[in-house]
Amino acid sequence: MVYHLSRNKRSIKGIIEIGGSKSESNRLLMLREYSSDFKITNLSKSDDTKTLVNALANTDKIIDVNHAGTAMRFLASYYASKLNSKITLTGSDRMKNRPIGILVDALRDLGAEIEYKEKEGYPPLRIIGKNLMGNEVSLPANISSQFISSLMMLGVKIDNGIKLNLEGNIASKPYILMTKKLMDKIGCNVVINNNEIEILRNYKSLNKIVEVESDWSSASYFYSIVALSRDAEITLKIFKRDSIQGDSIVSKIYQKLGVETMYKEDSIIISKNKMSNLPDSLKLDLSDTPDLAQTIAVSCLGLGIECELSGLDTLKIKETDRIEALKKEFIKLGVDGITTSDNKIYFRGDQKLNNNIKISTYQDHRMALSFAPLAVIIDISIESPNVVSKSFPDYWEDLKTLGFKIN
List the catalytic residues: 291
Peptide bond into 124 cis (omega under 30): yes
Q: Are 20 and 239 in contact (CB under 8 A)?
A: no
Separation between Cα atoms, residue 292 and residue 73, nearest integer Å = 21
Alpha helices in 13-144 (DSSP H): 22-35, 47-57, 69-80, 101-109
Cβ count near 103 (within 10 Å): 26
> What three-state secondary structure class fits 23?
helix
Phi, psi angles (nearest 5°) of residue 67: -95, 0
Q: Are 43 and 49 in contact (CB under 8 A)?
A: yes
Short-list 159, 158, 163, 132, CA closest to 148: 163
Per-residue DSSP letters for 170-207?
PSSHHHHHHHHHHHHHTT-EEEEETTEEEEES------
